[in-house]
Structure 1
Amino acid sequence: MAELLRMEHVSKCFGTFFANKDVNLCVQEGEVHTLLGENGAGKSTLMNVLVGLYQPTGGKIFYRGKEAKIASPRAAVEMGIGMVHQHFMLIDAMTGFENIVLGTKGKSALLDRAGDEAKIREIAERYGLEVDLNSRVSEMSIGMQQRVEILKALYRGADLLILDEPTAVLTDLEVEGLFKIIDSLKAEGKSVIFISHKMREVMHVSDKVTILRAGESVTTLDADKVTAQQLADLMIGHEFHESHYEKVTEAGEEVLSLEHISLNPHLKHGGLSDVSLTLHRGEILGVAGIDGNGQSQLAQVITGLATPDSGEVRIGGEGVAFYSARSFIDEGVADVPEDRNTMGLVGDMSIAENLVLKQTDSPRFSSAHGAWLKNAAIHEFAEAMREKNDIRCSSVDQSAGSLSGGNQQKVILARELEGSHSALVAVYPTRGLDVGATNFVHDAMIKERDNGCAILLISADFDEVLKLSDRIVVLFEGKVMGTYPGKDAPVKEISLAMAGK
């Protein structure tokens, strides 16, 4: 295979902090090359340099054998480099077709709708990209939005496609579809840089793997000559040991319960129908189910973001009279939301500010009930949380939005677990996290459980549900299909229930 891309001794510095330092990467034509590293290892930064969003502090980039100065994303597109970012760059109010052709016509006001649509459909058919071009992005599933992004890059002539955490928000079925698309791209001689933390996916899809650690490239290996355990050890810099947990079979008293809750029950994949469940002190209740079967609505009701059409939520034995996030926070319900960017953090605010968002009226951090913030106390608290939770940043004063996904999740977890709470709702708590960060979150949740917290775990990762849950409830089309023990869980029965059987 011919060499397509070479990055030699590339560095990217922000102030005195090196996000990338002396990184080397070589990608061949028709190759899937995985970038593997912990959250904050510099993977996304390196790719943002490659697509012209950042300019390198040092080093050289060669594309098809010639040195390239990639001054802008447009320059990268013109060279044949496309990127599907972890957080999609689509305009919700526009259709799939409009997003794909947006910016490709230059100053021309003419749009050959029929010709452009025919070209897009030909590309979609060639690579197995099923997309409704006439639907607005806001009406599409996450999987279809991703396919629109891939189509957008291929329509612009990409020969090198960068996929940044492409499976983080996909269902298992959608992941299988993505892998088929990647196989089609390889067969056409196109190259893919695949960024992922999920070892099974890395082993399945990769030809070569380059390890990044603390911003530096450690080594490049043939995927078929290395094990997942070896990759994990190289990624974190020491031998990785996954935690294993004892299951609780006798939990404490009731903390929170849902009794015959319904919310938009006519919607099979966007509502709840007669849901009853109970959370007890010192246990993790896992919710298993294929994504889109009422999990989001369950989380909204149990954190006060949605008022049910019927039924009752009881906290500490008392029925909830008023549904709002604040009232549930006051009742001691902590929340790790499903979307850390739009629901969990204020990206433009600092890490320190995000860490005290729920305590701004506390005498510890403010005077006159929040009118005047005690910046020194906030900064001291943030530094303690940074150390305790291994939040990797240059300063607690940097914006939360500038952190890697895993470190953003650690900020949310630190904020939620430090406050006064009796229950924790954790929705997809390890989505997009590397193995080390995932283990950290799991250990933190088990510690909370052992300290008496009642935890509701909602996860699309069935293995995670099985690993952590003391009891398991299955949701299908907004209904509870059954409740099962976490210890020696009947996997076959649970799997059938997840399919509605």
Structure 2
Amino acid sequence: MKLELRGVTKRFGSLVANDHIDLELRSGEIHALLGENGAGKSTLMNVLYGLYQADEGQILLDGVEQHFRGPGDAIAAGIGMVHQHFMLIPVFTVAENLMLGHEDTTAVGILNIASARARVRELADRFGFQIDPDARVGDLPVGVQQRVEIIKALAHDAKILIFDEPTAVLTPQETDEFMQIMRQLRDEGTAIVFITHKLREVREVADRITVIRLGKVVGEASPTATNTELASMMVGRAVELTVHKDPPQVREGAGLVVRGLHVLAADGTVVVDDVDFQVRPGEVLAIAGVQGNGQTELAEAIVGLQEKVTGSITLDGEELVGKSVRGILDEGVGFVPEDRQEDGLVGSFTVAENLILDRSADPAFRTAGTIRRGDLDRFARDRIAEFDIRTQGPSSPAGSLSGGNQQKVVIARELSRELKLLLASQPTRGVDVGSIEFIHKRIIATRDAGVPVVVVSTELDEVVALADRIAVMYRGGIVGIVPADTPRDVLGLMMAGETPTKDAA
């Protein structure tokens, strides 16, 4: 089967998400669609899958133009999609999820669950998946849930499979297993579109690479291209991917000390379970783990955003548990939240106003309850220059900036005052490679200034690049704290809950 996209254009109001994109896919190949978050990759695949309708352009299968009014039409044409966030019903079994939307009934109108079980077993045996058709999906590990999604697509005779950021929720070992599955599918003749922004994975598994930037195809690349070459295509300029740092110069002082920390969710579930660690002035502790293992709640507990917290969190000997968020920030804690648009910025406020969100009462900017606009404007222009924020000026709405520049506003705000602790949660999520380079340099500069730094990240490359020590979380607890040069396969096992050996630690 041959798939062609010709001149596909998709607009959302004034935003052109896909701008006259041409793409070709053949049976028996893995075609990687590479680009930063927001480049238009997922939008393009949603058009192909029938979730969106193109404003212009054509979709052709074996030379015949297609008009998909919804995913059902795409599935009928032999196209399957495995979404980054799985489309499974947790309380249903594997077989029941397989049947969903394609219910097969017996002559008397009863669901033919036996047929679905047989189909699951057939496909699982074919790919060595070892999946129980009667297992409840919510009880399965994330990597196995992804295989259920693949079986769902194959059960409907998909000849073309779209994988949208498929490794985002996987451990390194699960990622390696997934890439082997892709190779097996390719060798059996399946055409695969692999959407990602991870350069290492693209080079390892792709037969062809198409790079998208700002909604346009900027070129094709060979899998033999270097990471630097691919990154340059994605960003449009030369990028330094390596984080250069000297060994940490740990200073005197306790820094951040967490002891016996427990956090309960609103429903009483334990989300952080008896956590202990210390971060000394002048070092970076990176907290790694698959998303959803308590990292978010741990970070929020440190900054006072969680209500049901017991244990101790001290900063230079000062207890933070029980203080308000305002009180904790005033203690010198800089906080970069994982969702900048929800928690880090006010999109309708100007860049200047966002740069002092946590300092609006500071005498440096206010007199008798009124902000001195001249001083604020000068401060904002200095930060815009220092942090290379690409904006038309201090008065531009923060919501009008690109994701990378929005993140730079957050970073600039937090690093523009004297800090006793920097807590950066997913500091480069959804930003371009060039902004990642800049943000990493600023984090290391903060460490080198003698500030304790905690980085929470699900990107293992980022963890290894920034960390002096790595704490791995699994199901709310810390499995172990290991040196930054710990092998990736050891870190992957820890992310799956396995305690490291003494040699690894």
1:38 partner SS? coil
Distance of aligned partners of 1:444 and 1:176 in 2 relative to their CA distance in 1, 3 Å threshold: same
Shifted more, 7-16 versus 269-278: the winner is: 269-278
Counterpart residue type for residue 425 of structure 1? L
Instruction: Find the aligned partners of 2:206 and 2:278 in 1 and give their Cα distance.
Output: 42
Cα pair distance change 1:74/1:362, threshold 3 Å: farther
What are the superposed Cα offsets for residues 163-202 of structure 1, whole Å, 9 maximum, x if unpaired? 1111122100110121122122112211110011222110
Say if 1:343 and 1:315 are closer, same or farther in 2 by CA, change over 3 A.
Answer: farther
Superposed displacement of residue 206, structure 1? 0.3
Structure 1 unmatched ranges of 5 or more: none
1:39 aligns with 37
SS of aligned partner of 1:104: coil
> Structure 1 residues 272, 117: CA separation in 2 closer, same or farther (over 3 Å shift)?
same
1:197 aligns with: 197
- Aligned residue for 1:23, secondary structure, equals strand
Which residue does 2:126 correspond to in 1?
A: 126
Determine the structure 1 residue equivalent to 2:13: 15
1:316-367 per-position Cα deviation (integer Å, ceiling 9, x unaligned) = 42223427767645645444456x4998579xx957599969949956999x
**Which whole-Å CA distance do the structure 2 matches of 1:399 and 1:124 have between them?**
47
Amino acid at match of 2:187: A
Distance 2:412 2:92 in 1: 37
User: Hey, what does 1:423 align to over in structure 2?
Assistant: 421
Moved more, 300-309 or 120-129: 300-309
- Aligned match of 1:162: 162
- For residues 355 and 131 of structure 2, the distance between their equivalents in structure 1, rounded to whole angstroms, comes to 40
CA contact (8 A) 2:34 2:197 kept: yes
Letter in 1 for 2:40: G
Deviation string for 1:4-44 (max 9, x for gaps)?
21011222222333222121100000110001123322211
- Correspondence for 2:226: 227
Query: Residues 86, 456 of structure 1: CA spacing in aligned structure 2 closer, same or farther, 3 A cutoff?
Result: same
Q: 1:26 maps to what in 2? A: 24
For residue 431 of structure 1, report the CA deviation from its aligned partner. Answer: 5.4
Mean Cα deviation higher: 118-127 or 5-14: 118-127
CA displacement at 1:385 relative to structure 2: 7.7
Partner of 1:241: 240
Letter of the aligned partner of 1:229 in structure 2? T
Q: What does residue range 1-400 of structure 1 map to in structure 2 within 5 Å?
A: 4-105=2-103, 110-131=110-131, 133-223=133-223, 225-242=224-241, 243-251=243-251, 253-261=253-261, 272-273=273-274, 275-280=276-281, 282-287=282-287, 295=295, 298-299=298-299, 301-304=301-304, 311-322=311-322, 328-329=328-329, 331-336=331-336, 340=339, 350=347, 359=357, 362=360, 388-389=388-389
Q: Distance in 1 between matches of 2:146 and 2:134?
A: 15
Cα deviation for residue 45 of structure 1 reads 1.6
- CA deviation vs aligned residue, 1:49-75 (integer Å, no higher than 9, x gap): 111222222221111221111222222
Alpha-carbon contact 1:197-1:433 (below 8 Å) kept: no
Q: What is the distance in 2 between the residues matched to 1:204 and 1:167?
A: 13
Q: Deviations over 1:402-423 (max 9, x none)?
A: x87x788667656765788642
Tell me the amino acid that sits aligned with residue 435 of structure 1: V
**Root-mean-square deviation over aligned CA pairs:** 4.6
The alignment's TM-score, normalised by the length of structure 1, stands at 0.76
Letter in 2 for 1:238: R
Does the CA contact (< 8 Å) of 2:255 and 2:278 recur in 1? no
Alignment of structure 1 residues 403-418 onto 2, 5 Å: none
Unaligned runs of 5+ in 2: 265-269
Deviation at residue 220 of structure 1 after TM alignment? 2.4
Alpha-carbon distance change, 23 to 274 in structure 1, aligned in 2, over 3 angstroms: closer
Q: Is the 8 A contact 1:334 1:421 kept in 2?
A: yes
Structure 1 letter corresponding to 2:237:
H
Shift of the alpha carbon at 1:436? Answer: 3.2
Distance 2:136 2:409 in 1: 33
**Alpha-carbon contact 1:293-1:476 (below 8 Å) kept:** yes
**C-alpha separation between the residues in 1 aligned to 2:391 and 2:90?**
32
Q: Distance in 2 between matches of 1:358 and 1:76?
A: 49
Q: Which amino acid aligns with 2:276?
A: V
Contact 1:198 1:435 in 2 (8 A): no
Separation in 1 of the partners of 2:202 and 2:284? 30
* CA–CA distance in structure 2, aligned partners of residues 135 and 327 of structure 1: 48
Give SS of 1:500's match.
coil
Distance 1:147 1:466 in 2: 28
Residues 97-140 of structure 1: CA deviation (Å, up to 9, x unaligned): 44332222399974211111221232233234454555555444
Change in 2 beyond 3 A, CA 1:476/1:154: closer
What is the percent sequence identity of the aligned residues?
38
Residue 10 of structure 2 aligns to which amino acid in structure 1?
A: K
Partners of 1:344 and 1:103 lie apart in 2 by 37
State how far apart, in whole Å, the 2-side matches of 1:493 and 1:156 are. Answer: 35
Q: Which moved more, 1:176-185 or 1:252-261?
A: 252-261
* Aligned partner letter, 1:458: V
Distance in 2 between the 1:186 and 1:193 partners?
11
In structure 2, do the counterparts of structure 1 residues 60 and 238 end up closer, same or farther at CA, with 3 Å as the change threshold? same
- Give the secondary structure class of the aligned counterpart of 2:147: helix
Report Cα offsets for 1:262-296 as digits up to 9, x if no partner.
679xxxx975446231342x432234678888756
SS in 2 for 1:118: helix
**Matched pairs, number:** 473
**1:286 & 1:443 partners in 2: Cα distance?**
15
* TM-score of the two chains, using structure 2 as the length reference: 0.76
Instruction: Determine if the alignment matches structure 1 residue 454 to structure 2 residue 456.
Output: no
What secondary structure is seen at the aligned counterpart in 2 of 1:71? coil
Instruction: Confirm or deny: 8 A CA contact 1:279 1:456 kept in the other structure.
Output: no
Give 2:277's aligned amino acid: S
Residues 453/75 of structure 1: CA separation in 2 closer, same or farther (3 Å cut): farther
Rate the CA distance shift 1:238–1:187 in 2: closer, same or farther, 3 A: same
> Shift of residue 500 of structure 1?
1.8
Does the Cα contact within 8 Å between 2:336 and 2:344 map onto a contact in 1? no
